[in-house]
Amino acid sequence: GASIRRVREVLECDQSIEGLGNISTVGYPLARGISLRQVSFSYVRERPALDDVSLEICHGDCVALVGPSGSGKSTIARLLVRVADPALGQILLDGRPITEYSLAAIRTAVSYVPQKPVLFDGTVRENLLYGKPTATPVELQSVVVAAQLMPVLARFSKGLEAHIGPSGHRLSGGEAQRLAIARALLRDASVLILDESTSALDLPTERAVFEAIGRRRSASIVIVISHRLTSLTWVNRIVVMNRGRIVAAGNHDLLYAQFPQYRQLYDTDQRSAIN
């Protein structure tokens, strides 16, 4: 998954985001979902990071993007938050080209959780409320439970009022990731993208977080980018990428039975989970 550093790199080197539109709000939920239509994108000329990718994601869908490192998963996320635009093809958000929305509208509607979360020097509560300043205590409690933050809070005598230190350095990597996920859930954005955002969690905790997200009655589209295929049984659809292309899509059982490439990725992951 992309670290925020890589996102910044793209932001800083790429001044090509033009044609920012003026539609100032994105539907919640997205009545017509997200469409990628024959999307291609290259960071470096002649080396496509995405090559003719078409993908429909409907309202309420939970989709996982899997595939080897460098296959283009995070690039899809970057195009959806509009850090860059496709060289070819089109992305539609709720039936309208993504270029017709203002950047603020997109960044509000799409909640992107990177592998290394950005936290600030403040309390757990302040970091959570950054996602939604008007959140009620009930809403806070619900995301704390869903993101498996309860055991983290129990570690601090002050609970939600505990200070996490500059950049959240009092938290372990996995604790910081859980806080970032809770904050993103609180926002109830139209699209939630988890880009390797559970990579530092142990398997049972990751599974618990995912199960809670799957159970939440949320109107968000959820896109999960993950190396760990074992934890992805809860999603509606798994999209397998390789070298910038979608090579297979379906649920786990179908992919495992019919696509050797997926079976290989899954079995490798299973073995590393056991070892």
Give the residues lining the site for ligand ATP (CB under 6 A): 1-2, 6, 9-10, 43-44, 49, 67, 69-75
CB 113 to ligand ATP: min, Å:
14
Give the whole-angstrom CA distance, residue 124 versus residue 161: 6
CB 196 to ligand ATP: min, Å:
7
Give the whole-angstrom CA distance, residue 101 versus residue 124: 32
CB 42 to ligand ATP: min, Å:
8
Comparing CB distances to ligand ATP, the nearer of 45 and 217 is: 45
Give the whole-angstrom CA distance, residue 124 versus residue 134: 15
Comparing CB distances to ligand ATP, the nearer of 66 and 160 is: 66
Give the whole-angstrom CA distance, residue 67 versus residue 243: 9
Give the whole-angstrom CA distance, residue 274 versus residue 203: 10
Give the whole-angstrom CA distance, residue 143 versus residue 164: 18
Comparing CB distances to ligand ATP, the nearer of 67 and 168 is: 67
Residues 34 and 57: beta-carbon distance below 8 Å: yes
CB 16 to ligand ATP: min, Å:
13
Q: 110 to each of 29, 162, 192, 272, how far by Cα in Å?
A: 11, 28, 6, 32
CB 69 to ligand ATP: min, Å:
3
Comparing CB distances to ligand ATP, the nearer of 8 and 215 is: 8
Give the whole-angstrom CA distance, residue 215 versus residue 170: 30
Comparing CB distances to ligand ATP, the nearer of 1 and 29 is: 1
CB 43 to ligand ATP: min, Å:
3
Comparing CB distances to ligand ATP, the nearer of 49 and 128 is: 49
